[in-house]
């Protein structure tokens, strides 16, 4: 079973029940969906987020939010309701876009090179789990993961990198005890933290901040005087890397 170090251990025991709670911590507080991105502080004009020397453009984010909403409409036509909080699509999608870059960085740091075939095997595993819930893969990832189906190739690569890293840490033998799982989670979490820190992830304030406790974009009070302000997170975001 694939695991995500950005999620609580007991939230990723299963990926069933419509994607299960594996992605529960990917779900974020309150989105700034549809807000225009403007220059603020170190965030460049037209950027939803900066990762390293690259940016995730507001145009890319807007397009992917539209893709997710399109998937939601298709899901709902089949009687499938989104399992993530609605009106938070911008933060949810931006979280995925950032996580994919974090894991690309992690792979570079640890000389992990995954092949398209490895990524495809991860998606085949997800497809099998989707089928067991009588869902298509697109329905599976959109309804419960708030992931635009257009990003499935990136998701396959993300899980392939994670699987390779975990295999190196635990010698290819999945932990059989809670203590062993906790130890693996801590080690993977540390590597994820280092990769995220080295990228210097910066989120446009209109979308929130990058939270190192959940590795997701969460809301924070806006510093833009005239901008609509999303509600702050229920608990304070950890904006300084703890590694």
pLDDT digits (tens, 9 = 90+) for 71-81: 999 998 989 98
Name the band, by pLDDT with cuts 50, 70 and 90, for residue 154.
very high
Domain range for 169 is 9-218
pLDDT digits (tens, 9 = 90+) for 29-82: 222 222 222 334 445 668 999 998 889 999 999 999 999 999 999 998 989 988
Beta partners for 216? 211
Residue 26 confidence (pLDDT): 35
Q: What percent of the chain has pLDDT over 90?
A: 54
Residue 18 confidence (pLDDT): 36
With respect to residue 107, please indicate whether it lies within any of the assigned structural domains: yes
pTM of structure: 0.76
Contacts 24+ apart (CB under 8 A), 183-187: 184/3, 185/3, 185/5, 185/9
| Half-sphere CA count of 77, side-chain side, radius 13 A | 6
With respect to residue 243, please indicate whether it lies within any of the assigned structural domains: no
Helix 89-109 to helix 58-77 angle (10° resolution) is 120
With respect to residue 23, please indicate whether it lies within any of the assigned structural domains: yes
Name the band, by pLDDT with cuts 50, 70 and 90, for residue 232.
very low
> Does the CA dihedral 145-148-149-155 come out positive or negative?
negative
With respect to residue 241, please indicate whether it lies within any of the assigned structural domains: no
With respect to residue 233, please indicate whether it lies within any of the assigned structural domains: no
Look up residue 43 and give its two tokens: 């965030």
Contact predicate 147/68, CB 8 Å: yes
With respect to residue 191, please indicate whether it lies within any of the assigned structural domains: yes
Contact predicate 232/41, CB 8 Å: no
pLDDT digits (tens, 9 = 90+) for 75-131: 989 899 888 877 789 999 999 999 999 999 999 999 999 999 999 999 999 999 999
Who has greater pLDDT, 175 or 11? 175
The helix (H) or strand (E) run that includes residue 68 is helix 58-77
With respect to residue 229, please indicate whether it lies within any of the assigned structural domains: no
Residue 81 confidence (pLDDT): 85
The candidate with the shortest Cα–Cα distance to 175, out of 161, 187, 192, 158, is 187
CA distance 153 to 187: 26
With respect to residue 238, please indicate whether it lies within any of the assigned structural domains: no
The total domain count for the chain is 1
């Amino acid at each position: 079973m694939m695991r995500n170090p950005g999620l609580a251990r007991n939230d990723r025991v299963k990926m069933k029940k419509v994607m299960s709670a594996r992605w529960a911590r990917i779900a974020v507080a309150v989105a700034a969906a549809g807000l225009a991105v403007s220059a603020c502080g170190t965030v460049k004009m037209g950027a939803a987020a900066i990762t390293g020397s690259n940016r995730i453009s507001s145009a890319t984010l807007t397009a992917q939010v539209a893709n997710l909403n399109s998937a939601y409409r298709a899901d709902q036509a089949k009687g499938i309701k989104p399992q993530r909080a609605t009106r938070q699509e911008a933060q949810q999608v931006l979280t995925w876009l950032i996580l994919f870059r974090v894991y690309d960085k992690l792979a570079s740091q640890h000389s992990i090179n995954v092949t398209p075939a490895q990524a495809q095997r991860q998606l085949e595993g997800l497809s099998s789990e989707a089928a067991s819930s009588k869902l298509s893969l697109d329905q599976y990832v959109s309804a419960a993961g708030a992931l635009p189906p257009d990003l499935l190739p990136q998701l396959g690569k993300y899980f392939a990198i994670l699987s390779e890293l975990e295999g190196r840490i635990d010698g290819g033998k999945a932990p059989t005890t809670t203590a062993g799982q906790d130890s693996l989670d801590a080690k993977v979490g540390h590597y994820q933290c280092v990769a995220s820190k080295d990228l210097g992830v910066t989120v446009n304030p209109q979308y929130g901040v990058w939270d190192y406790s959940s590795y997701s974009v969460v809301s924070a009070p806006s510093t833009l005087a005239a901008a609509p302000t999303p509600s702050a997170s229920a608990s304070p975001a950890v904006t300084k890397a703890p590694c």
